[in-house]
Each structure stands twice: as structure tokens, then as C-alpha cells.
Amino acid sequence: MIKYYKPNDHCDPDEIGRSNLIALVGLLRHFVPCNDRFVLVTSLLFLFSFFVAGDLSAQSTRGLVNDGVDYYDDNKFSDAEVNFKKGAEQSPESFEAKFNLGDAYYKQERYDESIKSFQSAFANAETDEEKAKLHYNVGNSLLKSQKLDESIEAYKESLKLNPSDQETKYNLSYALNMKNNQDQNQQNQDQQQDQNKDGDQKNDNQNQDQKDKEQENKDQQQQQDQQDQESQQDNTKQQQQEQKISKEEAERILEALKDNEKDLQKELRKIKGKRVKTEKDW
């Protein structure tokens, strides 16, 4: 629940003005000679116009703020904003106008603007209670903006000034719990990312191992093919060499046969030159 101020409606500015005016008239009568009526009358007119203008200004600011509060209570936050803003512009020293303007921004979910309005009101805060409420509302705006660390600090500052405020204690506890959950979720997310990264790395390693194995098999196959090719070439060369030797051997054998045939013919001619004995010699 955001906190806002309702100005005191029981102050009568006219009565305050009359009292101040009477007091100043008495001072003028004491210091201004009675026979110098012109000076006295002029001074009275000046003072009267000054106080009337000041009282009217104060009354107008309070009226704007009061009307803004009525709009605020009716959930007409944009209308309330207009009145509070006019009051703050008319009386920059008005704590209530700036404070409630921050509330109107907050209700419209314009949290950055509400924080600025609350912070500007610190310069016009006179009591610790007012400062504590400002810190409390700043903390609420920061909490809505998901700025948990900053909202926690704002609630702590509020409790330093008003340690017994139960709403501030509750909101501080709520913000701390949200922060703890956020940290836990972040930790789980980081762990999941690490696991995914490890899994991806493992898959990459497995894929690389598979590629290395395939490359190794390919290299081995290429080496085997090359060895087979070299072996085939060696066999072909050996066969060719064997075929060449066989031809030479055949020629040698042929030559040997020719030589043997000549020798055989010589032997046969010797046999034909002898007389063959056909009868017995009795």
C-alpha cells in the first residue's frame, strides 16, 4: 500500500493572515511617527497586498492538493496527477504536492517518474517520519521495477528512521524472499547452462572421436589398397620375369636338343657303315 498525505483542512489562511497583519501594524505604529500618515498608510497597503497574495497562493496550492486527493481516492489517478503537478509547480516547497504526485505516478505504473517525484520531496521533508515514508514509497516503486537490491536498501533506510513500521518490515521481507528466489533461479539456470555446455562438449568430443576413427579407417584402407596395388605390381613383374626366364630356358633346351640330334645322327651313320651279320658261321 502506497502512503500519501492529506493536508490539514482545519487551518484558516484568512485567520492566519489577519493575525500576521495585526502584528505588523502594531510594529509599524511603534516605529512610524503618528504625524507621518502617508508612510504608515503606504506601508500598510504594501503589507496587506503581500500577505493576501501569499495567503491566496497557499490556499490555492492546498486546494489543488486536496482536490487531487479526492481524485486519488476515486481512483482517478490521471486527474489527481494534474492537480498535484500544478500544486508542485505553484509551490515548489510543497512536500505534500510532490509526495502525492509520486503516488499518482505509481498508481499509473510510471515507476521511474514516481521515484523522481519522491526523491525531489526529500528536500522539503522536515521529520524522520516523512523521510521514512519517502524511502518506503521509493522502495515500492523499485520493487515494482524488479530492482530488488535497490528496493531492499530503500526499505532498510526507511526502517532506520521508523523501526516500528510493520508495512515496511513486511515489504522488506517480501523483497528479500524474491531476491533469494531470483538468486536460486539464476544458480539453477547457470548449472543447467553448464550441464548443457558439458553435454555439448561431450557430444563434440564424441563426434570428433568418430571423425578421427573414420579418418583412421580411411587411411588404413588407403594404405591397404596401396599395399595391394604394390603387391599386384610385384606379382606382375615377377610373372613377367618368370616368363622371360622360361623363354631363354626353352631356347637353351632347343639348342641342346639340336646338339643331341647331331650326335645321334653321327651315331646312326656309324651303325649303317658296318655289315650286318645274318647267318651263323659254322
User: Kindly report the CA angle at 50 between 49 and 53, in degrees rounded to 5?
Assistant: 80
pLDDT at res. 270:
65
Report all structural domains of the chain as residue ranges with CATH numbers, in order of start: 15-108 (1.25.40), 125-182 (1.25.40.10)
Question: What's the confidence (pLDDT) of residue 200?
Answer: 76
Q: Which residues of 20-56 are buried (b: 16+ CB within 10 A; e: fewer)?
A: ebeebeeeeeeebeeeeeeebeebbeebeeebeeebe
Give percent of the chain above pLDDT 90. Answer: 44
Q: Residues 104-151: pLDDT tens digits?
A: 999 999 999 999 999 999 999 999 999 999 999 999 999 999 999 999
Question: What was the pLDDT predicted at 25?
Answer: 52
Split at pLDDT 50, 70, 90, the class of 97 is: very high
Q: Can you give the pTM of this predicted structure?
A: 0.54
In this prediction, residue 282 has a pLDDT band, given cuts at 50, 70 and 90, of very low
- Three-class SS state of 281: coil
Please say whether the beta carbons of 69 and 100 come within 8 A. yes
* SS3 assignment, position 279: coil
44 has pLDDT over 60 = no
Who wins on pLDDT, 99 or 261? 99
